[in-house]
Amino acid sequence: MKIIAAKKLLKANDKYARENRERFTASGTYTINVVGSPGCGKTTLLEALMENLGGRASPAVIEGDLASTIDAQRIESRGIPVVQINTEGACHLDATMVAAAADGLDLDGIDLLWIENVGNLVCTAGFDLGEQLRLVILSISEGDDKIVKYPTIFQKADVLVITKVDLLPQSDFNLQRAESDMKHLAPKAKIFQVSARQGQGIDELADWLLRTSHGE
Ligand SMILES: Nc1nc2c(ncn2[C@@H]2O[C@H](COP(=O)(O)OP(=O)(O)O)[C@@H](O)[C@H]2O)c(=O)[nH]1
Ligand SMILES: [Mg+2]
């Protein structure tokens, strides 16, 4: 009987992630791994940020989903290069999938590469994709207790985006509680509050991401 240890698989993933990171650095492509639960607003946030950044960055997107090309079509309709990865059941992207997707992009012409991970707060936490920045999204409709209930992914975040703040009046989400839980878990992570639908906070987040991608 052949037994594959999960630890070995993770080690292999780390090797491919390192190779991806070297490749992205060599081509001057700043890569952001966008993680959050299904429906938290990942694609909508990417659309709002890319619209805001306009001519200030040359973007491309890698879309991760179990099935379908719905999100990739949304991105493509904006004239932005996109590669769809269908994981066919896997609950997260891994570094080899991202390497294969990157083969389909002209990295030298891309300075901001967004990777929309599969909607999941658990499996995505364990897999480095070779990104430079991990952006985790929590939306108001998910509730303010998720940082404490799913700590691993939030602990590994470089930036937390609390989105759908336009829904706060209809919700019992306590922003102070969420921010204080996050500061406790990941003191170095930046926190932004946005509404991708209404545009609130998008200027500030887009400017910060651009400055960070330039190493400022
Ligand atoms: N009210 C509100 N709805 C949003 C916002 N961002 C996304 N949505 C809605 O949330 C749903 C899921 O968004 P989507 O971007 O597809 O989520 P994803 O599955 O995480 O990529 C859609 O109906 C969006 O219109 C927001 O800032 N405010
Ligand atoms: Mg999406």
Residue 159 pairs in a beta bridge with: 135, 190
Tell me which of 44, 70, 116, 139 to substitute to probe ligand 1's pocket, judged by most ligand atoms within 8 Å of the beta carbon. 44
CA 137 to centroid of ligand 2, rounded, Å: 12
- The pLDDT value given to residue 11: 86
User: What distance lies between CA 87 and its chain's CA centroid?
Assistant: 16
Nearest CA to ligand 1 atom 19: 39
Q: Pull the structure tokens for residue 144.
A: 């303010």
Scanning 143-199, the segments in alpha helix (DSSP H) are 146-149, 151-155, 175-185
Q: Pull the structure tokens for residue 132.
A: 């430079």
Nearest CA to ligand 1 atom 1: 164
From the CA of 202, the nearest ligand is 1
Using CA atoms, how far apart are residues 97 and 184, in angstroms rounded to an integer?
33
- The pLDDT value given to residue 4: 58
Ligand 1 proximal residues by C-beta, below 6 Å:
36, 38-44, 119, 163-164, 166-167, 195-197
Query: What is the rounded end-to-end Cα distance, in angstroms, of the chain?
Result: 52
Q: What is the pLDDT of residues 165-190, one digit of tens each?
A: 999 999 999 999 999 999 999 999 99
From the CA of 41, the nearest ligand is 1
Using CA atoms, how far apart are residues 182 and 178, in angstroms rounded to an integer?
6
Nearest CA to ligand 1 atom 28: 164
Q: Pull the structure tokens for residue 58.
A: 């040359």
CA 66 to centroid of ligand 1, rounded, Å: 18
Q: How many C-alpha atoms does 109 have within 13 Å on its Cβ side?
A: 6
CA 77 to centroid of ligand 2, rounded, Å: 14
**If one looks up domain 7-213 in CATH, what number appears?**
3.40.50.300
Q: Name the CA dihedral angle for 67, 70, 74, 75, rounded to a multiple of 10 degrees.
A: 10
The identity of residue 187, as a single letter, is P
From the CA of 84, the nearest ligand is 2
CA 8 to centroid of ligand 2, rounded, Å: 30
CA 216 to centroid of ligand 1, rounded, Å: 30
Helix (H, G, I), strand (E, B) or coil at 16: helix
CA 27 to centroid of ligand 2, rounded, Å: 26
Contacts made by residues 181-190, CB under 8 angstroms, sequence distance 24+:
181/144, 181/147, 181/148, 182/147, 182/154, 185/147, 185/151, 185/154, 185/155, 186/154, 186/155, 186/156, 186/157, 186/160, 188/158, 189/154, 189/157, 189/158, 189/159, 189/160, 190/158, 190/159, 190/160
- The pLDDT value given to residue 3: 65
Average pLDDT per 10 consecutive residues for the chain, totaling 216 residues: 70 95 98 98 98 96 94 96 94 96 97 97 96 98 98 98 98 98 98 98 98 96
Nearest CA to ligand 1 atom 2: 164
